[in-house]
Structure 1
Amino acid sequence: MEDSGHLVVSIFLSASSDYRLNQAMERTGLPEKKAAALMKKTDKQRREYYEYHTGKDWGAASSYDVCLNVESMGLSNVCTLLVEAYGKLSAI
């Protein structure tokens, strides 16, 4: 999608709740209950922000150009894939 001469690609990264919770606990050092509460609050804020500004459903595949599962692919692989794909798209 072109936006004022700039390439804009909407991307949604997903993973299971368990995976996300473990990652949140690891990153923040919070115990499970507090990490789960933070994750729930953050998801709510992201949903509200996204839906307000786009009029689309947050998390629905049809709302994005690309949807990737970080849990199954691994974060490093997802990053590599996105960098390579963006490089090819920008060259067009």
Structure 2
Amino acid sequence: MDSSEFVVDSAVYTFEEVIRAAHRLSGACYIEVVRRPNAHAVLVSALPGMAVPVDARARFFTDLADEKLRSLIRAETKGLHEQLVHAAISQAMPGAGSGP
């Protein structure tokens, strides 16, 4: 297999999620991510002297689902994350969070 194209619905997955998932394949093949109307396309090409891994599609869509889950968790825990960062900064630099 010299090249493949994976099309992803942009209403379901963000461009950032697609980029993160595609990047995981970058050690095994060339990757290009293209924005299209209502979709993101991932173009996968073989490295010189190699073939695109036969499981590239399965790996990509598994990684894409993982990135979607990570995004959902980040969104759900955003407030907690901000509180933890604020607490860490306040502890490391007393008075930093008290304002002018």
Q: TM-score scaled to structure 2, two decimals?
A: 0.29
> Which protein is richer in helix relative to its size?
1
- Point out the structure with max Rg over C-alpha: 2
> Which protein is richer in strand relative to its size?
2
Q: TM-score scaled to structure 1, two decimals?
A: 0.32
Larger RCO (alpha carbons 8 Å, 6+ apart): 1
